[in-house]
């Protein structure tokens, strides 16, 4: 069976339709899926997303489980629809060891959700959600948008970053 056929089977499944009906009727603000194995959860999420495309937040138990599910979902749905929201720390509860790559990923997720250009699925875990984030207003204010063809001086960038650091407010 091809992946497209498998997606269609799950998209037309009773569970996917039931989830969509709950979302459409605002009867349920969250869904807890259990008893599924392997990539079945990813296919059910894809089926619900295809039938009723809304922003979704998927919370898994820990970083490893979230990362595996994120990879599954990326392959099933596509890279442009799925985002990973990690913790900014290398090790939990050690705030002095931040991971710059994860901080960048967090900012990209927040920017993508703020744009509202298309619906997204965000995959995360409790440790990442418990961290404070910049307010939407401050994130917009402290974002420097550059294009490939832009010519700017290093002094301008340094000054912009310096001002951003001074103005960051955390929720």
Number of domains in the chain: 3
Give the H/E segment covering residue 8.
Answer: helix 3-11
| Co-location of 71 and 31 in the same domain | no
| Co-location of 126 and 62 in the same domain | yes
| Co-location of 16 and 62 in the same domain | no
| Co-location of 116 and 147 in the same domain | no
Report the distance separating Cα 54 and Cα 48, nearest Å.
9
Q: Which of 33-42, 67-76, 132-141, 144-153 has the highest mean pLDDT?
A: 67-76
| Co-location of 163 and 139 in the same domain | yes
Cβ count near 94 (within 10 Å): 9
Please, what is the average pLDDT of the chain?
Answer: 81
**Of 59 and 39, more confident:** 59
pTM: 0.72
Integer-rounded Cα radius of gyration of the chain: 19
State the alpha helices, DSSP H only, in 25-153.
40-51, 63-77, 100-115, 126-129, 136-141
* pLDDT score, position 74: 93
| Co-location of 96 and 119 in the same domain | yes
Structure-token match 């749905």, residue found: 77
46 pLDDT more than 80: yes
Per-residue model confidence as pLDDT tens digits over 71-126: 999 999 988 899 999 988 766 555 566 777 888 888 888 888 888 778 899 999 99
Q: In the listed set 37, 53, 69, which residue is the last one of a domain according to the structure?
A: 53
Per-residue model confidence as pLDDT tens digits over 60-73: 999 999 999 999 99
| Co-location of 82 and 122 in the same domain | yes
Domain assignment of residue 94, given as a range: 55-131
| Co-location of 39 and 93 in the same domain | no
| Co-location of 60 and 87 in the same domain | yes
| Co-location of 107 and 137 in the same domain | no
* pLDDT score, position 171: 46
* pLDDT score, position 10: 82
| Co-location of 41 and 66 in the same domain | no
Q: At 144, give phi and psi (nearest 5°).
A: -105, 110
CA distances from 30 to 19, 42, 56, 66, 71 (A): 9, 16, 9, 17, 22
Per-residue model confidence as pLDDT tens digits over 5-17: 888 888 888 878 7
């Amino acid at each position: 069976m091809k992946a497209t056929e498998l997606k269609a089977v799950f998209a037309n499944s009773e569970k996917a339709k039931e989830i969509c009906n709950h979302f459409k009727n605002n009867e349920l603000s969250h869904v807890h899926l259990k008893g599924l194995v392997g990539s079945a959860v990813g296919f059910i999420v894809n089926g619900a997303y295809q039938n009723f495309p809304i922003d979704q937040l998927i919370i898994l138990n820990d970083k490893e489980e979230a990362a595996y599910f994120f990879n599954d979902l990326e392959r099933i749905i596509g890279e442009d629809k799925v985002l990973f929201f990690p913790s900014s720390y290398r090790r939990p509860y050690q705030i002095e060891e931040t991971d710059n790559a994860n901080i960048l990923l967090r900012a990209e997720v927040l920017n993508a959700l703020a744009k509202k250009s298309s619906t997204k699925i965000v995959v995360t875990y409790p440790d990442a959600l418990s961290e404070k984030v910049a307010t939407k207003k401050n994130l917009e204010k402290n974002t420097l948008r550059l294009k490939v063809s832009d010519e700017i001086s290093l002094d301008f960038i340094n000054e912009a970053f310096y001002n951003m650091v001074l103005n960051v407010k955390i929720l």
